[in-house]
Chain A
Amino acid sequence: MDAEGFDTLVATHHREIYRYLVRATFRASEADDLAQETFLRAYRAHRALPPDANARAWLFAIASNVAKNHFRAESRRRRAHTGVREIRIETDGAGPEGETLFKEARTVLDTVVAGLPLKQRLAFTLRKVHDLDYDAIGRSLACSPDSARAHVFQALRKIRRSLNGYELPVGRDER
């Protein structure tokens, strides 16, 4: 990939990778740092990327590695600490009134998803938010497609259990 191709890659995928990392870290400032690290690594390696490579999946794989390293380092730093940090994704607070229920549901989901083990959280986000297939998720998380699928399913089971009777808004006719 040439320099122009890399510029296109940044323009096309940075926002999406940043969103993924916000979902992974639940902190915009950390996600910003990790997204920069992702693209700096990509910059160093992009010339070796074959023209027919799936650049999007490649970026998600780098971002997943960066996130995993970050959490490994953070867990070492915080080993002496106990408890779960408060999870709150900053939002702009704007939106139509009719979205109140969905906003509340999103907040509940944010908290539940934040409590998932890292691999499950990443696999779940890659699949359900960024629509990557299980092959790509497996490459991102250094596991088989079957394991990637198992992580997503485990995440969903835990989310369902963690909702603990909280009913998310239902929006389909058949329900």
Chain B
Amino acid sequence: MTRKPSVCQEIEPALLATAIGDADTVTAARVEVHARTCALCRQDLVRYRAIEDAVGAWRGAPAPAEELAHARLESRLAALRRRTLLYRIFP
């Protein structure tokens, strides 16, 4: 495996933060400037952003059996409340 130049290793956390939208504008600008002249880091930026995009599709996507799970919880909580009420009346 080719070892990255030290300047690339140093900028890597900032590059990652930039790719996922965590970096401040100054850091992001520094990364973009570096990526313009460094093919390896440019490629890394693209790949991290692709991960970010793919994960973005998970947001708001319903999970399997979501409504069933919700109904089961409501029913269990209702039973718990009934038991609590009964205990208060007949301790």
Contacts and interface: CB of A to CB of B under 8 A. Distances in A.
A15 B53 contact: no
Contacts of B56: 128
Nearest to A154: B16
Contacts of B77: 10, 39-40, 43
A159 B58 CA distance: 15
B48 A156 contact: yes
Contact of B46 (A14, A36, A130, A170): A170
Contact of B51 (A10, A18, A160): A160
B27 to A, nearest CB: 14
Contacts of A56: none
A167 interface: yes
Interface residues of B, number: 36
A18 B63 contact: yes
Interface stretch (A63-71, A85-93, A114-122): A85-93
Contacts of A157: 16
Given A40-B76, A43-B77, A157-B16, A169 B64 contact: no
Contacts, number: 105
A129 interface: yes
B64 A22 contact: yes
B3 interface: no
A15 B80 contact: no
A89 B16 contact: no
Contact of A28 (B44, B54, B57, B69): B69
Interface stretch (A74-82, A101-109, A136-144): A101-109
28 contacts: A10-B77, A14-B69, A15-B70, A18-B69, A18-B70, A22-B64, A23-B58, A28-B65, A28-B69, A31-B69, A32-B65, A35-B69, A36-B72, A40-B76, A90-B65, A91-B64, A106-B54, A109-B55, A128-B20, A128-B58, A129-B58, A149-B22, A152-B20, A153-B17, A156-B16, A157-B16, A170-B53, A172-B53
Top 5 nearest A-B pairs by Cβ distance? A168-B50, A22-B63, A90-B64, A32-B69, A19-B63
